Structure 1
Amino acid sequence: MSIHGYTARHRAMLQAVAEGRAELMGGRAPSLSVDGLWCDFTATNDLYAAGLVAAASQSQAGARVPAILTSIGRQVLGTLVAA
């Protein structure tokens, strides 16, 4: 673990979201894909539950929408990149 309990995997996922390469699929627990590949479920849950990533718009369960960083997500990413 590193800063704030986030790992290099979390940082890479946040960076991909910031670059516009990620989508969230809504449902009971969101799933995150980057470049069409599904990400680690636990890391996705960590980021989503902490409010660092969100869906760009509301959608029905099972539909993919672009993922975006929240303001706190941008701050955390900045801290992780600077470390």
Structure 2
Amino acid sequence: MNPPSHRTLAMLRAVAAGRGQVSCSSEPDLFIDGVPCCDQFTAHALTHDGLIRPDRIGLIGQRVPAALTSAGHALLTATATAA
């Protein structure tokens, strides 16, 4: 696995801080502070790679809070201790 980019880590930190929302979809979009992320490819990858998830079930297209998975927490912890 390649090391995560600065953008990936920033997105994960924002979700960890409770600032993220995801749309309920097969290709969930990520919103930080209510603003859509400029890199939706990475946002989709964070979900598909199991690093973030919806915090609760919602209707298709609805925005719900985003949450880090245990893998997302582990990645943030590993990169923080490596720095």
Same fold (TM over 0.5): yes
Structure 1 stretches of 5 or more lacking a match? none
The code of the aligned residue for 2:8 comes to H
Root mean square deviation, CA, Å: 1.4
- In structure 2, stretches of 5+ residues that fail to align are none
For residue 32 of structure 1, what is the aligned residue in structure 2?
A: 30
- Sequence identity of aligned pairs in percent? 36
For this pair of structures, how many residues does the alignment match? 81
Are the equivalent residues in 2 in contact too, given 1:11–1:81 (CA < 8 A)? no
Corresponding residue number in structure 1 for 2:8: 10
TM-score (norm 1): 0.89
Task: Find the residue that maps to 1:4 and give its secondary structure.
Answer: coil
Match of 2:53 in 1: 54
Partner Cα distance (2:67, 2:77) in 1: 15
Compute the TM-score of the two structures, normalised by the length of structure 2.
0.89
